[in-house]
Structures are given as C-alpha cells and as structure tokens.
Amino acid sequence: MIEPISLWDASAEEAQVADQSVSSVPVDLVIVGGGYTGLSTALHAAEAGLSVQILEAAGIGHGGSGRNVGLVNAGLWLPPESVAKALGPEHGPRFVKRFGEGPETVFDLIERHQIRCSATRTGTIHAAHAPAGMTDLRARHAQWRALGAPVRLLEREEAAAKIGSRAFHGGLLDVRAGTVNPMGYARGLARAAKGAGARLATGVAVTGLTPEAAGWQVETAQGAIRATTVVLATNAYTGGLWPGLDRAFTTIRFVQLATPPLGERAAHVLPEGQGVWDTGRIMRALRRDAAGRLVIGTMGRLHGTAAAGLTRRWAERQLARLFPELAGTGFEEAWEGAIAMTPDHLPRIQRLADGLYAPIGYNGRGITTGTIFGQALAALLTGAPETDLPLPVTGAAPVPRARLTSHIFDAAFTANQIRQGLW
C-alpha cells in the first residue's frame, strides 16, 4: 500500500480516478502534470472539444496540489496596486479583477461538478503578526475597498474572537475566499476532466519532447504520443524535461503538521471555519479540517516526523503560544511541499517554443492560479486571442542564482524553526 503524501491525501472524500493507458492516437493537447493547472486545462479544453491526454509521473495531485494548505485566496501575496503597477495599465487591472474573482471560479467548479472537498466559503483572514503587519493590512484594506472588494478590517479584539487567539494584532477578512481539502479538489477536477473526455495516465513520466512539423512528439516509457500543443503543468515540481525551466523560479519548502481531531477542546479556534495566513516574513498558516484537526504550517522543510524532531518542537511551541489552553496537544501527521517563487512574486505563462507552454511561479497561490491559468490556456488553444490571458505571455527567463537562493532560504527557514522551537 502506498503511503499517503499528506493528511489531505489520506482524508479526501473523492476517490482516486481510474487510470488509463497512453493513447497511441495523435491528440490536440498533451498536458504534463496532474495537478490543478493540468487538470483545469484538461477539463476546460476537453469541454471545448479538444482531444486531451494528461501524463502524470506519479499520481493525481502528487506534487504541490496534494500538499497544499487548502486556502482558496483572492489575489496574490502582493497588494492590488503593486500588481497593477507591475503589469501595466492594460493587463494590470484585468489581472487584479480576474484573480480577485479566483475563489468564485474555484467554488463554481466545485458546485458544478459536485466535487467533494469539504469546501467552506466563510473567507480567509490575513492576520497581523506585529503592529507593522497591521499597518500593511490597513493599506491593503483601503486598496481592495477602492476596487469594491468585500474585505473587512478586523481590529485586535474581533480578530481574537474569530481566530480564537490573542496573539495577533488584527486581521483582514476576505469573504470571497475559503478553504478546501486540496487533494479532494484535485481528484474532483480529475474526475470532471475524465468525464469531459480527457484521458488521464498516471505513473507515466515524460522522457523527451521533440518538435515536429505539425506539433510535438512526447516520449514516455509507454511509447510516444503526438500532439499539436504541449502544456508543461509542473510548476515547482519541474525537473529537467526542458532545459532551464527548473531555474525559472526559486524553490522554497512549506511544512505542515496536523493534530488529532480535537472536538470541543478546540471549538473556540476558528469557529466560523476561516483559514489564516499571517504577515510575518516567514509566513505561518493555520486552519481546521473537516474532522476538527488543527493544521499549522510555515516556510521550511520537515525536520523529523510528526512524533519527534525539530519541526515537531517548533509546532508544539507555536501551538502553545497561539493557544495556551491547547499546550501539550500532539500531532499525528506531518508533510512538506514545494513552492515556486519568482523575484517579483508574479506568476508567468511562458512560451518555450511554438506550441509549448509552461505556466509557472505560483508563489503559494496554487489553487486559484492553477485553476485560472488552466481555464485561460484552454481558451487560448480554442481560439481566444492572447490578449485575453490574465497576463502577457513571456519567453523562458531563468532566475539568476535560483538554486543558491533556494539554499539560502532553506537555511534561514531551518534557523527559524530552531530559534522558535527553543523558547
């Protein structure tokens, strides 16, 4: 029996989608990667009439999709004015609007395809870890309100009531957002894509890509398949399939630990079901799952296990600081995932060659970004103009010293776990 990769893998209501073989018939579109981007692209492209083959080296959601925190946030880490300024007057406002509506896009798909993923739509809270964080949130609140977004600033007492902890200095509640079981969402998208006619082959690694006159030959251990267009939907789990693609971002790790179901002991923690992410430079996340577990996470690797080790000690100290009444609560699951970060914190849709696309650099916003980009790429491949994409298509652009920067971040995050796990 294969060990689950995360709590979400073990607890998802959606069943694994039955595997299919690799088609020997040429197709319109081959998608490499069975996460949110690949599955959303497949679903929308198949619904539009394209023949689609997904090739996933492991299992559906095996990468970042099944290891996600499960916060369905609107927008990016950046405030909307920064995004609009970076993308310019043509793409900036459209991008901000599209990504502000990102949770609605996700929840509409969940409703339309009856995806069983423990979805909640009570919002998320961006919590101020310090007074300076509250200053930042006030500015974000003003910017979103100017755009008509339904966000609300929470002063310290109201934030404490909604989170169940007095450790934060306030927060920004975004009622557009919510939470899901991230693996349940991925499997539901896979079921919907297959139902629309897409073929899904798991355990099939792509070993080569060769351009041809009419498209691409995609090599696998099960044989080659020809496609007019190829989408590399691997994001932070990109390997060496296309030279330099794995240097188009900086990789950071994000670790999570889950308590056992706590029942009434933790009924006061996030009683309305919001997910939390804070304003710290080394961000923390907090949420509950459908069974009443508390899930706490931060940037960095998993050192040890849920039962013992550095990361377990860090999580114990964090839980005790946030919720002194829960001090001593143990953990039953621990896992980590990878995030693809870009220098400007904006994602990319890269055209690596004619008919070869690679959406990448989601900066911790995989659920909404992957869903939106998949929808947009399917529209592009079925006749929509490129100007309709959420942001301009770019060429391949390696990040200078990407691997060195990843190592530096890794060391800093480990040092943070050591420091915060000691006091």
Q: pLDDT for 310-351, tens place per residue? A: 999 999 999 999 999 999 999 999 999 999 999 999 999 999
Q: Contacts by 405-409 with C-beta closer than 8 Å and gap 24+?
A: 405/250, 406/250, 406/251, 406/252, 409/250, 409/252, 409/299
Question: For all residues of the chain together, what is the average pLDDT?
Answer: 96
Q: How far apart are CA 392 and CA 390, in angstroms?
A: 7
339-365 average pLDDT score = 96
CA distance 164 to 332: 22
The superfamily CATH assigns to domain 121-179+251-342+409-422 is D-Amino Acid Oxidase, subunit A, domain 2 (3.30.9.10)
- Asked whether residue 1 carries a pLDDT value surpassing 70, the answer given is no
pLDDT, tens digit (0-9, with 9 covering 90-100), for 136-160: 999 999 999 999 999 999 999 999 9
**Using CA atoms, how far apart are residues 108 and 118, in angstroms rounded to an integer?**
14
Q: For residue 423, what pLDDT band results from cuts at 50, 70 and 90?
A: low
The answer to whether 191 and 17 have CB atoms below 8 angstroms apart is yes
Amino acid at 337: G
Q: Is the pLDDT of residue 249 over 60?
A: yes
Domain boundaries, given as residue ranges, for the chain: 7-68+183-247+344-401, 121-179+251-342+409-422
Q: Is the pLDDT of residue 308 over 70?
A: yes
Over the stretch 26-69, which tens digit does the pLDDT of each residue have?
999 999 999 999 999 999 999 999 999 999 999 999 999 999 99
Q: Roughly how many angstroms between the first and final C-alpha of the chain, as a whole number?
A: 39
User: Does the domain spanning 7-68+183-247+344-401 belong to CATH 3.50.50.60?
Assistant: yes
- 28 closest CA partner among 13, 10, 48: 48
Task: With a cut of 70, say whether residue 309 has pLDDT above it.
Answer: yes
